[in-house]
Chains A and B, each alone.
Chain A
Amino acid sequence: MDAGERALSASGLIAGREGTSLLWALLRVNGLQVWRRLQGLRHQSKLLTLLVGAFLGGYLTLAFGLFRMGLRFVGSFPGLGTLLVERLMFLMFAILFVLLLFSNLVIGYTNLFRNRETSYLLSLPVSFRTIVQWKFIESTLLASWAFLFLIAPLIVAYGLHRNVSWHFFVLTPLLVAMFIVLPAAAGAWISMFMARYLDRRLFQATLALLVVLVMAGVAFWLKSEPVAEELTETRALAVLDRLLAKTAFTEFALLPSYWLSSGILQWADGALATAMFYGLVLLSYTLFFGHLSFSQSGRFFYDAASRVNSRASAFWRWSWFQSWRLRHREARYTEQGIERVAGWFSGVLNSDTRALLVKDIRLFWRDTAQWGQTLVLFGLLGVYILNLRHFSHQLTNPFWIHLVSHLNLGACALNLATLTTRFIYPQFSLEGKRIWIVGMAPVGMVRLVRTKFWLATVGSLVVTLGLILLSCWMLRLPLERMLYFAGAITLMTFTLNGLAVGLGALYPNFREEHPGKIVSGFGGTFCLVLSFVYIVASVVLLALGSPWPWMGAARAAHAPTELAWAAFLALSLGLGWVPLRMGLKQVERFEL
């Protein structure tokens, strides 16, 4: 028995040897897998453990500090502070409920119907009920842990803000643990229902449509209304009243988030009996729906799983689709749009480089996860930027204009960093699987890496530059400031892509097929941490060295622009050009 088994045994995860239930055996084996994975991370690199630890610790500390300051700020609003803080809590848990629902839906579907372990278990004498029970537990944990990690600092900050007793910090995790079962149960049932009736493409399309509808609904409902300057000064209560009316839906008594928020708020108020009431309401629903999922969903699972495995495209029912597919089955090949576009550059690019570009663009387009996440991340940022015009009426103070424009730069770069780490970093490792063709072709590995860098950079620059220019336009910034931010985001885009491509070549992982697993290794974590450090440092440097005054006509005493830009350039070269250069050197020496 190794340390992992001993730990699991001590925690009760290993049941008695005789009569071990199959569910317990599955929990034990998967618990052991997770434990070994964590151990492997530690053994892989001390630096990685340190980096991950520092990053997590940094997030918790920073988030706690910001939440604490925010709560103090909102709470100090005369007469309405407590009400506003409470409404914020209701709003946050309502949003959390929706996010958890979507997260559980996607992860539940993948885990139940697109998972090799599920297929394996289906061939064993394990009942469908046990399989669903295990997958339900696994999906709930996978879908919820990140959200819980995100809100933990807020709950601690709220507790300290309200000077609560120690038992608040015991009860709240229990309430949250009960709460996460409800979106998990709903997600599992909906995913089974969707799997039963929709094929994968229709599932994705329906899900995307749902996300768009929810976003549009929220955007419409919470649409910012132009408020005149004098109104905010003289009729603050009326403005607040409108704001509170718009968010009153979060206190709808049948929302699970309402029971959770009420339980937490009442406990913080010292109204323990009322808090217990909400806790019991939550418990009763959790037990009912949790039990329903645990005991009844197995009977629907096999039918849905069989249909997922048996289904041809749902579009087959339409004759136009059948004839379109039959046309594509024919042996002749017609050049498609992207190839024709690549053909325009035949004077500049060799045919092999064009072939690589066309292949990468096709793979991006056909991988729903890649363009879907890109669309969601930059789409949300785009919606926010488009709404800036409403605020810009109130942004007459140069400080706020400055702050918002720099924050937009940071947000845009952070979005890009998420995508470069998730999708660009593993590109070289994934290419390793195809090394028998790409590596042996005369294109050479160095040009392969360079092509990937330029494609990723130019592609992402179109989006980041567009968003930053839109942000400047919405904030009514003059041309010179637009150019200033355009220069900054261009350099940051080059750097972030250089970092991802360079580290991807420096730390390749040819064993893994799943990009997510490649990213979770040392190089991927290193890339994520360095990207975030670079963005924070860059935005701070640019803000400090801004050539335009922050507080008024006179330029405040901060770092000179030249110095700040020199540091920004040096940082960009160090974290963009250097890793890319090192990666290319490594690739030159690469042995097939």
Chain B
Amino acid sequence: MIELRQLTKKFGDLVAVDQVTLTIARGEFFAVLGPNAAGKTTTIRILAGLMKPTAGQARVAGFDVQTEPLEARRRMAYVPDFPFLYDKLTPWEFLRFTGQMFRMSEGSIEGAARLWAARFNLGEYLNIAIESLSHGTRQRVALASAMMHDPEVIVLDEPMVGLDPHHARVLKDILKEQAERGATIFVSTHQLSVAEEMADRIGIMHHGRLIAVGSREELRLRSGSEGALEQTFLALTAEEADLAAAGKKLVAPEPGPVKRV
């Protein structure tokens, strides 16, 4: 599971993440939405251990990402929006390397690499240098490598970018299966349809604050809009902007444990 407690991150005077508190239960699919520069990627980067929070705490699978970083990362899969891959390696070699980094046994590396390469349709590319692959295929290699060690927590930043409709569907199915087997999934996306279709709960971030959290229906009720998620999203972010102009804050309700799978 993921726990964020009063998480705050400042870049100089700019507050990128402002006292975000959130608990995502085991087996829950959580999607975070928000306009550009809302603080989604910063939150994810703190969660992945790439930077320290200015204040607050982030825990992954029960481990504090700052004080017990290795334990936390061992249980987590993180794929950024532009994942780093070793260009001169082949996908096969990269998958093996990732397995070694997670200290998997030789046998399980072999099995997991075969499994995830097959799931992401990488078979014909396995022995081609990564530098020759298209953007979408590279994204699939990164996603496959992230799944290798059977993570308890999966954190993805804009995972659908570059994927064709077929592979976007494949990824959605895989994430659904992972949630069903008990993995916690945290996805940042601009594609409202992904959140609408997949997420148990949706969080909306704006100006570093988590302004609303809830199921699709709860958000709709909260915003008072009747239409699709797009209307809800626009209504909530507009409301927050109005409140901000008036010097007030729209505060998300205290999160309770949610388990919908």
Contacts and interface: CB of A to CB of B under 8 A. Distances in A.
Whether chain B is bound by chain A comes out as yes
Interface in B184-234: none
B74 to A, nearest CB: 4
Contacts, number: 83
Given A22-B101, A309-B51, A124 B13 contact: no
A241 interface: no
Interface stretch (A114-122, A278-286, A332-340): A114-122
B78 A33 contact: no
Contact of A311 (B12, B87, B88, B93): B12
Interface in A3-26: 17-18, 20, 22, 25
B84 A119 contact: yes
A124 B102 contact: yes
B52 A120 contact: no
Given A22-B100, A309-B45, A311-B12, A119 B129 contact: no
Interface string A334-374: 00000000000000000000000000000000000000000
Given A25-B100, A311-B11, A312-B13, A33 B88 contact: yes
A386 to B, nearest CB: 42
A126 B101 CA distance: 7
Interface residues of B, number: 35
A197 interface: no
B147 interface: no
Interface string A279-308: 000000000000000000000001101100
Contacts of B80: 119, 123
B73 A125 contact: yes
Contacts of A309: 45, 50-51
A462 B97 CA distance: 52
A32 B93 contact: yes
A116 B88 contact: no
B159 to A, nearest CB: 15
B78 A303 contact: no
Interface string A104-122: 0000000000001101101
A33 B87 contact: yes
Contact of B49 (A32, A122, A310, A312): A122
B260 interface: no
A33 B131 CA distance: 11
Interface string A36-52: 11001000000000000
Contacts of B49: 122-123
Interface in A103-151: 116-117, 119-120, 122-127
Contacts of A120: 83-84
Contacts of A511: 131
Contacts of A303: 52
B170 interface: no
- Among A22, A36, A125, A316, chain B packs the most CB atoms within 10 A around the CB of A125
Nearest to A36: B88
A125 B70 contact: yes
Contacts of A37: 88
A29 interface: yes
Interface string B76-99: 001010011011110001000110
Contacts of A312: 11-14
B48 interface: yes
B52 A306 contact: yes
Interface in B95-124: 97-98, 100-103, 106
Contact of A20 (B13, B83, B98, B100): B100
Contacts of A36: 88-89, 129
A310 B51 contact: yes
A313 interface: yes
A311 B86 CA distance: 28
B100 A122 contact: no
Contacts of B48: 122-123
B40 interface: no
Given A33-B86, A36-B129, A127-B70, A122 B50 contact: yes
Nearest to B77: A123
A18 B106 contact: yes
B101 A316 contact: no
Nearest to A310: B51
- Among A18, A117, A310, A312, chain B packs the most CB atoms within 10 A around the CB of A310
A29 B87 CA distance: 11
Contacts of A33: 86-89
A456 to B, nearest CB: 30
A32 B89 contact: yes
B9 interface: yes
Interface string A155-197: 0000000000000000000000000000000000000000000
A306 B101 contact: no
Interface in A508-544: 511
Contacts of B103: 22, 125
Given A32-B93, A123-B78, A125-B102, A310 B70 contact: no
A122 B48 CA distance: 8
Contacts of B84: 116-117, 119-120
Contacts of A119: 50, 80, 84
A192 to B, nearest CB: 15
Nearest to A308: B51
Interface of B: 9-14, 45, 48-52, 54, 69-70, 73-74, 78, 80, 83-84, 86-89, 93, 97-98, 100-103, 106, 129, 131
Given A25-B100, A120-B83, A123-B49, 18 more contacts: A25-B101, A30-B86, A32-B88, A36-B129, A37-B88, A119-B50, A119-B84, A123-B78, A125-B70, A303-B52, A306-B52, A309-B45, A309-B51, A310-B9, A310-B10, A310-B51, A313-B12, A322-B13
**Closest 4 pairs between A and B when the two form their complex, measured CB to CB:** A312-B12, A120-B84, A36-B88, A125-B74
16 contacts: A18-B106, A29-B89, A32-B89, A36-B129, A119-B84, A124-B102, A125-B70, A125-B103, A302-B52, A303-B52, A305-B51, A306-B50, A306-B51, A312-B11, A312-B13, A316-B12
Interface of A: 17-18, 20, 22, 25, 29-30, 32-33, 36-37, 40, 116-117, 119-120, 122-127, 302-303, 305-306, 309-313, 316, 322, 511
